[in-house]
Chain A
């Protein structure tokens, strides 16, 4: 049952991913990307990371992609230039390299069990609580730094977005 769901979601994600890069209209691209994220959120659930699935939906699909859509609609672009690049050599090289990359990545993926153990074992209490326990103790410093990063992003976005710098 799980596996069936997983394959469904996986194939859905791949197809929508291909559509993301193929369609001309940027709005359509964004919407398909949201679908990919939804599929991924489902896969996270299947993998037992409920909190991350929720966060994926809220932050990624709900905030970031909405931002993307805002900007796309703000710019109001011509459909013409959104298409795939015309020059043959660029496309060719891109295909070849992407295929190469895929080949290399797939060559190692035949592992079912990785050696070693991670540092913070998963308790059977809820995902959120166990995550919180680890996050606010062992990972406190990265957490605080991340908040600073967000602050910087806010300031940067405001400054860059001004009409006159």
Chain B
């Protein structure tokens, strides 16, 4: 437990070794070093987790402060880590999934010239992410927050020589920034209100406030804006689909399993604050539910396999926020963990398919890959079953818990969530059927082959986790929900304890499964039984189809509303202000000096007697003044 600082430190060492010391290291060394660094973090997290399990539940919140960082008058922040159930779960998830993805990357990025740079950035990302989840103060968390944003930019624009990835990286960073603005304002407000930025003092101080207080509501809304930026909710989700320009393992790690979940983590971490602001919780829930449904509708029609998964991620994040919004933070974190497993699996599987198809992304050009890519197909199918919420896979338990908790609060929210679940099952199985089943639409030049073990073994591990990962959160059964119990010292659920209506709960479980199965059947009908059906429907509802297919034209709207005016304004300022005024001043200073020196230099005539003259003049003047 005392070695908790090793958890973020190991990846940082990986960065320094690979990035600074090992500039000439061969590929065979760089990959394993990076993976070992993450493995080290995972081991330390695991050991700490087991140690904490041995402690009684009340004393499971431990703060380890290492050294003071900023001391400025009243403002003092330390570098310290908070070991408690929530951060431990995040640490384990992050380091575990990161390790698997690192191993996968050794195979996936093998032929890329930027191999070393990739692993350096990836390790750097894990360092920042681990800092984010283990920080003991808002400010240190913000350091990690910004750092993962930076690494996201670096990794999305990894192939920066091409325009699309470079633009996508910029877009991600700028949109993130908008969210960070909210986070910063929230931090200012927190400091003014509580006098400290460390979590424990702030949460204790929160108890003094009455529920519904304006300060806390404002604070939590601002925090949520930050979460929207990082976790791609409406209206700041636009960067995530474009972020698919990056390498697929990056999409798996950053945009599925870890970075985008930072917002959910932050909301869960601040649950004492959110519990005091019912208005904010409503906002969180509504936006979460809307995003879940909205993103699912867009995902229905995408033809790029990674885009489908990207919109799916946005949608699932919406579910997590929905959970937090109805006060069921544990369910949100639970879904975060299971989602990390199966979404990483799905992305890595997609990467495996792309690797086999020589970089092809369009699912219209795939099909009948089941026999050619057996392992990929099997694991991808498991991941899809998990995300659709089929018993007994992981997604079933977490999604079902969210829907159940949503039902307690509001039927409308449940309805939106259930509709989203239907769409989720549909589009995910659409992707599976179009990729792996049916007629082969593969072009003749492409010869799909199964990926090497260094890529398939991570897939298998994640598939196993997708199956068993949900079993720590069994509903109904007494003490079945070990997950919830573990998190209870940290998470205080809003609202009174609900009287368990076991019958209703079982009914809802069946309903959830039923919805998912209906979605699968519809997908089967559309894409395997009757392949012409989608196109018929598309031509019948042409206007709607075009609208959804073009992502509701949101990107174009943002461009017109925000991007172009700023560009025009910047241009104007550049031409009139920077070029004419500032450059004019600077150049003008030079010109003035030149002019003056041009006249003064004429003193140096080169004649001896002129110089003697000046000396004499000076002497006369001095004597004259002395004599007065």
**In the complex, A touching B, CB below 8 Å?**
yes
Chain A contact residues: helix, strand, loop or mixed? helix
A107 touches B627 (CB 8 A): yes
A108 CA to B628 CA, complexed, in Å: 11
B609 touches A101 (CB 8 A): no
Contact flag A97-B613 (CB < 8 Å), given A104-B623, A104-B624, A107-B627: yes
B620 touches A101 (CB 8 A): yes
Contact flag A93-B627 (CB < 8 Å), given A100-B620, A104-B620: no
Among B609, B617, B627, contact of A104 (Cβ-Cβ < 8 Å): B627
> Is residue B616 within 8 Å, beta carbon to beta carbon, of the partner chain?
yes
A90 touches B609 (CB 8 A): yes
Interface residues of B in 604-628 (CB under 8 A from A): 609, 613, 616-617, 619-620, 623-624, 627
Residues of A within 8 A of B616 (CB): 97, 101
A25 to chain B, nearest CB (A): 20
A94 CA to B616 CA, complexed, in Å: 10
Among B613, B619, B624, B627, contact of A94 (Cβ-Cβ < 8 Å): B613
> Is residue A85 within 8 Å, beta carbon to beta carbon, of the partner chain?
yes
Residue in chain A with minimal CB distance to B607: A90
A100 CA to B613 CA, complexed, in Å: 13
A101 CA to B615 CA, complexed, in Å: 12
A85 CA to B612 CA, complexed, in Å: 15
A105 CA to B609 CA, complexed, in Å: 22
Interface residues of B in 33-78 (CB under 8 A from A): none
A139 CA to B627 CA, complexed, in Å: 31
Binary B-proximity of A84-101 (CB < 8 A = 1, otherwise 0):
010000100110010011
From A85, A104, A108, residue with most partner B Cβ within 10 Å = A104
Contact flag A97-B620 (CB < 8 Å), given A104-B627, A107-B627: yes
Residues of A within 8 A of B617 (CB): 97
Binary A-proximity of B582-621 (CB < 8 A = 1, otherwise 0):
0000000000000000000000000001000100110110
Interface size of A by CB at 8 A reads: 11
Among B609, B619, B620, B627, contact of A85 (Cβ-Cβ < 8 Å): B609
B24 to chain A, nearest CB (A): 53
B613 touches A108 (CB 8 A): no
Residues of A within 8 A of B619 (CB): 101
Residues of A within 8 A of B627 (CB): 104, 107-108
Interface residues of B in 143-162 (CB under 8 A from A): none
Residues of B within 8 A of A100 (CB): 620
B624 to chain A, nearest CB (A): 6
Residues of B within 8 A of A97 (CB): 613, 616-617, 620
A155 to chain B, nearest CB (A): 25
Residues of B within 8 A of A93 (CB): 613
Residues of B within 8 A of A101 (CB): 616, 619-620
A97 to chain B, nearest CB (A): 5
Residues of B within 8 A of A94 (CB): 609, 613
A91 CA to B561 CA, complexed, in Å: 80
A93 CA to B183 CA, complexed, in Å: 78
Residues of B within 8 A of A90 (CB): 609
Residues of A within 8 A of B624 (CB): 104
Interface residues of B in 439-465 (CB under 8 A from A): none
Residue in chain B with minimal CB distance to A90: B609
A110 to chain B, nearest CB (A): 13
Residue in chain A with minimal CB distance to B613: A93
B610 to chain A, nearest CB (A): 8
Residue in chain A with minimal CB distance to B612: A94
A60 CA to B530 CA, complexed, in Å: 127
Residues of A within 8 A of B609 (CB): 85, 90, 94
A94 CA to B607 CA, complexed, in Å: 14
A64 CA to B1 CA, complexed, in Å: 94
A90 CA to B609 CA, complexed, in Å: 9
B605 to chain A, nearest CB (A): 11
A17 to chain B, nearest CB (A): 18
Closest 7 CB pairs of A and B: A97-B616, A104-B623, A100-B620, A101-B620, A104-B624, A93-B613, A104-B620
Residues of B within 8 A of A (CB): 609, 613, 616-617, 619-620, 623-624, 627
Can you give 9 contacting A-B residue pairs, CB < 8 Å? A90-B609, A93-B613, A94-B609, A97-B613, A97-B616, A104-B620, A104-B624, A104-B627, A107-B627
* Extra pairs beyond A93-B613, A94-B609, A108-B627 (12, CB < 8 Å): A85-B609, A90-B609, A94-B613, A97-B613, A97-B616, A97-B617, A101-B616, A101-B620, A104-B620, A104-B623, A104-B627, A107-B627
